[in-house]
A and B are shown apart, each in its own frame.
Chain A
Amino acid sequence: MEEIYQPGSSVLHRLDPRFKTASLAMLSGLTTGIGSWGLLVDALGVLALMGLSRLTWRAYRPVFMVVFWLALFYGLTAGWVWNGWRIWEGHWSNAGLALAGMMTVRIALIFVLTRIFAAVTPPLEQGLGIAYFLGPLSRLTPKAADFALLLTLTLRFIPLLAEEAGLLWKARVVRGTLPNNWLLRLSDLAGLFPPLLLLTLRRAEEVAENLMARGYAPGRYRVVNLHKWSSQDSLALLVVCLWGYLMVWTNSI
């Protein structure tokens, strides 16, 4: 199975995570509201990003699969007009098909953009990027800061739990052979869940204690990112702004 994040050293990998998060949000937002010319500009931009990311076609396979099924669904629901109660008695509508096509293109572009973002930004940086933009909201409500902390903690906790599960599995493997009978094997494996649950609770308690030990106070969390804003980031920002502007401008033609 393909990993979501694909380590690499492309330009996109090196960009500031805050910039990547903001760009994804802006471009996705614009993609939902523009017309066919805007979508064309967007598609060209996405193609350029695909090239820059140096991801293989395999990395996009799950996206294409989902888009294919969505296209089928939209095509059938919006493109096929039935006359009576029987679904197979009807005809294709050109306007409906065009609408389905537009929706599919929009969804495909957003999905591919998100796929590229996830592939070139490590999960923890994604969390930090999102948490950074929740920062201003914490002036309105401390819950925003707590939510941002929750997000980064969750992202950190998942690999820790995976590591713990791996250690439990190791402990099980070195203890003795798994039964050959698949039912017994299943029940044997199910036996690992209670200790995993206990470990999870223990680790969660430890995290809570660590937060308290570092003087955690509700609503105070802020992301401190030492990622230095480079000239590459500035250039990328310019390009994305131009891209966004072109999408909106062509829409008005």
Chain B
Amino acid sequence: MYDLVINANNLSYGQILHDLNFTWYQGETIALMGPNGSGKSTLARLIAGLIEATAGYVEITAKGVPLKRGPYGRWHAVGLVGQHPRRQSIGASVAEELSFGLINLGLPNHEVKYQVREIIQAIGLEGKENQSPATLSGGERQRLVVAAVLAMKPQFVLFDEALSMLDIRSQERILALVHNMGKKAAKLWITHDPELARKADRLWLLQDGQLWDAGKPENVLNAPQLCQNFHIQNRCEGLEARIKRKTHKTGKTDKTESAIPESPALQWLDVEIENRLKLNKAVQAGEFIGIVGASGSGKSTLLESAIGLIAPSAGSIRVSGVRLNKKNLPAVRRNIRILLQEAGEYLLDRTVRQVIFWGEKGVDSVSERQYLERFDIDPVFLARSPETLSGGERQKVALAATLRTEPEVLLLDEPMLGLDAQGRKAMTRVIEELSSSLATLYVTHDLCEVLPYANRLWLVDKGQVVRDCEAEDWDRYREEFRKAGVRIPV
């Protein structure tokens, strides 16, 4: 057994966490799961010493003796990695990002420089030392942040959904970095992913401000009722049944390039967008396309070009046979709607009602409630500010607002990002409802998310669709998808 232990005694934080008691030993890996808004991130910040408990306390003891806190009430023994690569970097350059923590540890300049050079080599960012972190891809940036935190050699590291925005290749590289920390380091993974949680020594579940130490993860993850109670869903749960239901409903699709009718719902005709996208494809009305590929491969660019957010430098984009141009964009956008990545972060109005029913007058409360029910949104939220909702709730509000105009083409850019099982179910239900009547393009890193609805799959790499196949045939290209960083069903 190692020396350091984190203890929480009757730890409370406002209305979010109540009287939590736990012990976390050095060298131990813990998975923390719970519904959106249950206070997982708040707990992580309390342990990291970034916020003060309203009652109770957290302490680190070394052989039973409490450690003194450092500047601003923090311990150097605890590190925290968050979800968004973009919002965690501090440094003006890669080197500065890595050196910041080391300097704060009081290391001399020559030692800092030596360590920074070593780390840069270890994370494969040679030659980018003096570049701004903003010039790196999402995966590279998250690797940089993880390396910067781990460089401070914390004995306890909290990963707050640190892998959720990354493709599988980037995830693997981060996990390799974490693995290199050795057995002495304790890790706490905040996650909605049962596959990651299974690798932990213990599973903690947080709900309604209460923490339950469930012991071995299998105790919960193999118990369907417990999973349901705590809104945990296996990534590919019920996948086969859902695929069968789709096939039964639609029959095996036999649409091929040659069978494309005259006016597809959406069409890219020899489109080129700088060096970011090269495309010559069509989507039929009622068709569902799953768009997969690694981070930065051009998936979002593809969606944004369809709604005219990015104009092509060559070729043309047609919607229902009409060439997209500046003049007809407003009219076209009524029929094509997009749920942008992290749409819940960018809600523009003061209340949820204004967000969802934007520009509408005289919507009665019964209609409002009926509409909200489809998205599993509590009507109490209507009068509240979007700021007061959890990330998952905000994402549902964004989807409800997107679909309010009943479009003909729906573009979804990673709609499940950060959602718990309940949120995913609500989202899945809506998508299932709509998928037969709309042309839908759905961007994701995870095939399990789209296989139940997709007719076709597009694998995007370096701005091009390198594989266009029937969804039912995905298994034939399993290796190709895996190599491209796409999560595939196990």
Contacts and interface: CB of A to CB of B under 8 A. Distances in A.
A125 interface: yes
Contacts of B117: 226
A44 interface: no
Interface string A169-194: 01111111100000000000001101
B92 A220 contact: no
A128 B91 CA distance: 10
A174 B410 CA distance: 12
A58 B429 CA distance: 57
Interface in B323-345: 330, 333-334, 337-338, 340, 343, 345
Contacts of A153: 90
B367 interface: no
A211 B103 CA distance: 12
Interface residues of A, number: 49
A211 B132 CA distance: 17
Contact of B95 (A177, A203, A213, A224): A224
Contacts of A172: 348
B58 interface: no
B152 A215 contact: yes
Given A195-B348, A211-B90, A171 B343 contact: yes
Given A209-B45, A214-B100, A226 B130 contact: yes
A206 B90 CA distance: 10
Given A175-B358, A191-B348, A224-B112, A214 B338 contact: no
Interface string B125-140: 0000110101000000
A240 interface: no
Nearest to A214: B101
Of the candidates B70, B96, B149, the one having the most CB atoms from chain A within 10 angstroms of its own CB is B96
Nearest to B88: A210
Interface string A153-167: 101100110010001
Given A168-B346, A206-B87, A213-B80, A223 B96 contact: yes
Contacts of B132: 122, 124, 156, 159
A127 B132 CA distance: 12
B95 A226 contact: yes
A174 B338 contact: yes
Contacts of A224: 95-96, 99, 103, 109, 112-113, 116
Contacts of B346: 167-168, 170-171, 195, 199
Nearest to B398: A171
B256 interface: no
B71 A217 contact: yes
Contacts of B106: 220
B18 interface: no
B31 interface: no
Interface of B: 45, 48-50, 70-72, 74, 76, 79-80, 82, 86-93, 95-96, 99-101, 103-106, 109, 112-113, 116-117, 129-130, 132, 134, 148-149, 152, 304, 307, 309, 330, 333-334, 337-338, 340, 343, 345-348, 350, 358-359, 387, 401
B76 A215 contact: yes
A221 interface: yes
Nearest to A131: B92
Of the candidates B71, B92, B101, B105, the one having the most CB atoms from chain A within 10 angstroms of its own CB is B92
A152 interface: yes
Contacts of A199: 345-346
B80 A215 contact: no
A185 B117 CA distance: 52
Interface in A210-243: 210-218, 220-227
Nearest to A194: B350
**In terms of DSSP, what is the predominant structure of the interface of chain A?**
helix
Contacts of A174: 307, 309, 333, 337-338, 340
Nearest to A145: B103
B130 A156 contact: no
Contacts of A160: 86-87, 134
B358 A214 contact: no
A147 to B, nearest CB: 15
Nearest to A211: B90
Contacts of B340: 167, 170-171, 174
Given A124-B93, A192-B348, A226-B130, 18 more contacts: A127-B92, A128-B96, A168-B346, A170-B340, A171-B343, A173-B309, A176-B330, A176-B334, A176-B358, A176-B359, A210-B89, A211-B90, A212-B72, A213-B80, A215-B76, A224-B109, A225-B130, A226-B95
A177 B333 CA distance: 8
Given A171-B346, A217-B70, A224-B96, A125 B103 contact: no
Contacts of B88: 206, 210
A191 B350 CA distance: 10
Contacts of A128: 92-93, 96
Contacts of A222: 103, 109
B116 A213 contact: no
Contacts of B309: 170, 173-174
B187 to A, nearest CB: 16
Contacts of B149: 213-214
A207 interface: yes
A223 B90 CA distance: 13
Contacts of B338: 174
11 contacts: A125-B93, A152-B92, A163-B86, A171-B340, A171-B343, A176-B330, A176-B359, A195-B346, A210-B90, A221-B103, A224-B116
A175 B70 contact: no
Contacts of A152: 91-92, 96
A18 B358 CA distance: 52
B92 A156 contact: yes
Contacts of B76: 215
A253 interface: no
A212 B90 contact: no
A215 B107 CA distance: 13
A221 B71 CA distance: 14
A122 B134 CA distance: 13
Contacts of A217: 70-71, 104
Contacts of A167: 340, 345-346
Interface in A47-92: none
Contacts of A192: 348
B129 A226 contact: yes
A209 B41 CA distance: 13
Contacts of B95: 224-226
A170 B347 CA distance: 11
